Amino acid sequence: MEIVRVTEAHELAQEDQRFCDATKAWFKIDFVPKMSRVLLTVPEFGRPYGRASRRAMTDGALTRAQKELIATMVSAINVCEY
Amino acid sequence: MAYVAGVTHALNAVADGLRLPPEFSPSPREPLLPLPELATASPEVKAVFDEIVGFYALDRPPAVFRWMARDVGFLQSYWAATRQAFTDGALDRRIKEILAFAASMTGKSDYGVDFHLREARRLGLTDQALTEAVEVIQLFNTVTKIADALRLQPDFDTGTSGQPGAQHPAASSTPPGAA
């Protein structure tokens, strides 16, 4: 169980709710991931982190799929179930 | 990918645990235990070493495999598994080496970062792709620690948590060759 209350998307600022909508479209999902909501609980952290994340995961010299594999590998080595 | 994770993590654990010096970068590390001499290797060991040297385009077998030559049966079988894990398949060998680099960096393995960075570069990893890979490694080392610190439960129902969650997409929905 989480040790903090995870902010609901509708509790976020309008600007951040728009970013959450973009996140749903990015991942082709119909909910806002907990991580997005946790990061945006402190917008001064979540906004730049979100921009860095979106920028990093876009197709470049490596494809988005390859980058998702790298992310999965990091999660596996860190034994992170989330 | 899981085989790459397992083999990389294991080889790094042995190499760093035994204080084997990195293959390509200068290091003051000295092996905790002596490595078998190459000159006295048996024909069976030499045959495996020849294959390893060819696979990685090296002029000598890596220390972590030299260590295994203490037991030829172990060397033969583990090398065969390693070769299979890193051979072109649904994922190509270059992305497998990038993944091994990510595993090594995340696991803080001096030996593994040195080895897999060289190998990924040899297989065509550009500086731009390396920068992008490190960006992703850094970002996901951030979020995995935040998730663990707050004990975030998965968004997707993996069937093991007993907690409600979104249905995880079927594994078959992502073409293996997409990477």
- What digits encode the pLDDT tens for the residues A9-63? 999 999 999 999 999 999 999 999 999 999 999 999 999 999 999 999 999 999 9
- Region B31-37: mean pLDDT is 90
CA distance readout (Å), B71 to B35, B65, B75:
12, 10, 6
Minimal Cα distance from A66: which residue of B? B179
* ipTM of predicted complex: 0.91
- Which pLDDT score, from 0 to 100, does residue A82 have? 87
CB atoms within 10 A of CB B29: 16
Give chain A positions within 8 Å (CB) of B178.
Answer: 63, 65
- Which pLDDT score, from 0 to 100, does residue B177 have? 43
Phi, psi of A4 (to 5 degrees): -130, 160
Element (H, E) at B174: none
Give chain B positions within 8 Å (CB) of A39.
Answer: 143, 146
Minimal Cα distance from A81: which residue of B? B154
**pTM attached to this predicted model:** 0.88
User: Binning pLDDT at 50, 70 and 90, where does residue B111 land?
Assistant: very high
Shortest CA gap A47–chain B (Å): 14
CB atoms within 10 A of CB B131: 13
- Which pLDDT score, from 0 to 100, does residue B176 have? 42
- Tokens linked to B54: 């060819």
Judge whether residue B167 has pLDDT over 70: no
Q: Tell me whether residues B152 and A6 touch, CB distance under 8 A.
A: yes
User: Binning pLDDT at 50, 70 and 90, where does residue B145 land?
Assistant: very high
User: Binning pLDDT at 50, 70 and 90, where does residue B163 land?
Assistant: low
Q: How much of chain B exceeds pLDDT 70, in percent?
A: 88
Query: Of A29, A58, A66, A24, whose CA–CA distance to B94 is shortest?
Result: A66
User: Binning pLDDT at 50, 70 and 90, where does residue A1 land?
Assistant: confident
Q: Tell me whether residues A39 and B102 touch, CB distance under 8 A.
A: no
Three state DSSP letters for A13-30? CHHHHHHHHHHHHHHCCC
Give chain A positions within 8 Å (CB) of B93.
Answer: none
- Contacts of residues A23-32 at CB distance under 8 Å and 24 or more positions apart, as own/partner, are A23/A50, A26/A54, A29/B166, A30/B166, A31/B155, A31/B166
Minimal Cα distance from B8: which residue of A? A77
Give chain A positions within 8 Å (CB) of B143.
Answer: 35, 39, 82
- Which pLDDT score, from 0 to 100, does residue B158 have? 65
pLDDT 10s digits, B39-93: 999 999 999 999 999 999 999 999 999 999 999 999 999 999 999 999 999 999 9
User: Binning pLDDT at 50, 70 and 90, where does residue A80 land?
Assistant: confident
- Which pLDDT score, from 0 to 100, does residue B160 have? 55
Coil, strand or helix: which one is B166?
strand
